[in-house]
Each structure stands twice: as C-alpha cells, then as structure tokens.
Structure 1
C-alpha cells in the first residue's frame, strides 16, 4: 500500500554561489525557506518540480523534500533539511557568519 503524500517544498543549490535555495509560488528561487511554496498535492508537486527543472542552467540538485506548515511559512521535517537551511557548520562564512555578527 502506498504511503500517503506529505507536504513538500522544492529545494536545490544555486549553481554559482552554492547556496541552498527554494522554489516559490511565483516560479522564482529564494534563499529563505519561509518564502518557499508548500505543495500539498502529489500531482501538483510533480508539475511544480518539472517547472523548477526548467531553470537547470542556474541551479543543481533539484528535488522535493518533506516540509510542514509553520507560523512563518514552511519548516523542515528532517534534520538534513534543517542543517541545509541554516548554512555551513562553521562560522567562517555563509548564513551563520551573518548571525555571529549580530
């Protein structure tokens, strides 16, 4: 018996900068998970993934990942996606460097 569909977001990496990015409802990419489109229908998820893959010259590693609704937009379900969202594991560069200067 197939597993029930769970909500998803589309994620990838920016080809030039390597940043984690998320596909929005406006057919654009954002570096913020809160701006990602939360897809609740399996057929729609496949169609949106095809739309995102049209931008393959600018992004790499496009895939659907589980997410859940949150107060500020979609939130990750798995540790891996939480880790990707927060940036590199050291404070020398990336999203975490900006947070260390606050």
Structure 2
C-alpha cells in the first residue's frame, strides 16, 4: 500500500544567484511562507513537471514535505529548514536579518 500523500511545496535553486526558491501561483519566491502548498498528488506531479521545464530560471527542482500551521508552510525535515535559512558559513542574505 502506498504512503498517503502529505503536503508539499515545490522548491529549487535560482539559476543565477543560487538562492533557495519556492513556487507560488504566479512564479517563484524566496519566502517559504508564500509558497503554494500542494495537497493533491496528481496536481503536484503536474506542477513539478512545469517547474522543472523552467531551465532558464531554476535548477534542482523537487517536492519538499511541509507541515502547515495557521495556514503557513513550515519545513517538515531538517534539510529543508536548513535550506530555508540560507548559507551557514557567515551571515549574509537571509541570515543577515536573523
């Protein structure tokens, strides 16, 4: 029996900057809170195919598990939490404001 489909977001890296980005209804964002949460497996598969075709903007597109609290997606795994915070070598970019 297959595992039940859990909420996911589509994530990738911006091709030019390398930043972690998330798919929204209208494009890409660097803010996980603005990402579209996908709850239907067939829809998620189609959106993943469409996002993967945007090779002039993104690289490494995949579905990431999230939990939803108060309507806001949060990473379900440490790896995604780490990616959402940005580089860990020194404060810059997203970490500059933490």
Does TM-score exceed 0.5, indicating one fold? yes
Matched position secondary structure for 2:39:
coil
Displacement after TM superposition at 1:56 (Å):
1.3
Aligned to 2:5: 5
Aligned to 1:61: 60
Matched, 1:98 2:92: no
Q: Which runs of no fewer than 5 residues in structure 1 stay unpaired?
A: none
Displacement after TM superposition at 1:72 (Å):
5.6
Displacement after TM superposition at 1:62 (Å):
0.2
Structure-1-length-normalised TM-score: 0.89
Aligned to 2:19: 19
| Shift in alpha-carbon separation, 1:62–1:3, aligned structure 2, 3 A | same
Runs of 4+ in 1 over 4 A off after TM superposition: none
Paired residues in the alignment total 98
The within-5 A match list for 1:28-67 is 28-67=27-66
Displacement after TM superposition at 1:90 (Å):
2.8
Q: Which runs of no fewer than 5 residues in structure 2 stay unpaired?
A: none
Moved more, 75-84 or 90-99: 90-99
CA RMSD of aligned residues (A): 1.3
Structure-2-length-normalised TM-score: 0.92
